[in-house]
Amino acid sequence: MFRKELKVLDCTIRDGGLINNYQFSKDFVKAVYRATCDAAVDVVELGKKLEESDEYTREKYGAWNFCDDDDLKEVIDSCDSEYRPLVAVMYDVGRVDVSKLQPRDQGPIDMVRVACYVHQIDAGIDLIKRCKDLGYETTINIMAASAAIETELVEGLVEINKADEVDYLYLVDSFGAFYSEQVTYYGEMYKKYAPDKELGFHAHNNQQLAFSNTQQAIIDGVNLLDATINGIGRGAGNCNLELLLNFLKNPKFNVRPVYKVIQEHFVPLREEIEWGFNDIYGISGHLNQHPRDAMKFRADKEHKDNCYDFYVKSIEA
């Protein structure tokens, strides 16, 4: 599959941080950044940029939940690769202070991605407008579209289409519940009610469909694709970057650095934290449920594989 308009966004640190409170070492983040540079990925998302408080501290919630400019600059400056991807961070509506964001030409960030639920779309658009005023490329990522009331989603899409400041509109399979039919269905809805927006797609792997659903999004004309190294991400994880780069067949991409960082950094990391498909996450995806209950269930080491118990508990809840 080759289409020159296709771009790849690596969200390894941002989505992967959801399973370890963003407690990645700087050496690990530098290794990931180096791999994305050498692989010629278009955009790398290095975490969230949330507001720190007395309760919500870097020590407890990790540096990459806050993405201070100094931390980002240290990572970026550690790589001498000729190719540099755009650097992105994510804002969660209601948990940020945009007044602390410097103009794009004065800091290390190129793109701000705003994550919001359907009922927060107006607030998300407001955040994006302020980021665009500062010169940033922008995306709006509507979370849990599969659980939204469709009429409310449509109203939100119409409002997004009016906002010139939104560069990319993301279809997000937050619960890993989509089959290819849903990717196409929602994609057509997004195109109908927000026809002026470029689309992005972010998949989760609860039913082992993140890669194939990303392929379907490509077939349906989506041009910005999210993936993570080794599929790391919340719960069952995401579309594997290495598989996606192989599939795209764009000669600019180089998958070798990705396999190198997997061997050297991700294989050892699997001894410390868990991600990827198992039947517990498969059940949560099938039932279109947020993975928080599945993650909590997996934390009980003695009973974490009791898929029948989890299934009965889930359908009776």
Q: Under 8 Å CB-to-CB from 291, ≥6 apart: which residues?
A: 175, 176, 204, 206, 234, 235, 236, 281, 284, 285
Provide the pLDDT for residue 2: 74
Q: Taking residues 91-115, what's their average pLDDT?
A: 95
Residue spans of the domains in the chain: they are: 7-269, 279-316
User: Whole-angstrom Cα distance, residue 201 to residue 139?
Assistant: 11
pLDDT band at 4, cuts 50/70/90? confident
Residue 75: CB atoms within 10 Å: 25
Closest CA to 127 of 113, 144, 142, 109: 113
Note the pLDDT tens digit of each residue in 118-167: 999 999 999 999 999 999 999 999 999 999 999 999 999 999 999 999 99
Is residue 247 exposed (0-12), middle (13-18) or buried (19+ Cβ within 10 Å)? middle
Bigger pLDDT: 190 or 94? 190
Note the pLDDT tens digit of each residue in 25-57: 999 999 999 999 999 999 999 999 999 988 889
For residue 250, how far is the Cα from the chain centroid? 22
User: Whole-angstrom Cα distance, residue 178 to residue 196?
Assistant: 24
Task: Give this prediction's pTM.
Answer: 0.95
Site of tokens 């409170």: 21
Provide the pLDDT for residue 1: 62
Classify 7-269 by CATH class: alpha beta
